[in-house]
Amino acid sequence: MPYCFTVTYTVAEESREAVADALRAITTPSRAEPGVMDYRAHVSPEDPCTFMVYEVYDEEASFAKHRESEHFAKHFHGVVAPAALTRTFVAFSALEPD
């Protein structure tokens, strides 16, 4: 069963460009990881200080491995997490057709 979730962050105006750059930088290596089915970062068109990341892994263990990656440490722990004023994590389960 795929492991899917969104994470939404709000950041201060002065952190906006650094966070956008970090999310762009983490996307390509994340997509190349084994077990990553989709990884997409987004910015709100109404509020450029609000970002959402959509992630789908083949299983929860693949997400755990992603969190151990060098690019996750550099871009998430180094830039996004310190800049986040709020963080909302929402997990989803797939609805399969009958």
Q: Which domains does the chain have, with CATH numbers?
A: 3-92 (3.30.70.100)
pTM comes to: 0.93
Report whether 75 contacts 23 (CB < 8 A): yes
Q: Where are the beta strands (DSSP E) in the chain?
A: 3-11, 36-43, 50-57, 84-92
Report whether 27 contacts 78 (CB < 8 A): no
Q: How many Å apart are CA 6 and CA 80, to the nearest integer?
A: 15
pLDDT tens digit at each of 98 positions of the chain: 899 999 999 999 999 999 999 999 999 999 999 999 999 999 999 999 999 999 999 999 999 999 999 999 999 999 999 999 999 999 998 888 87
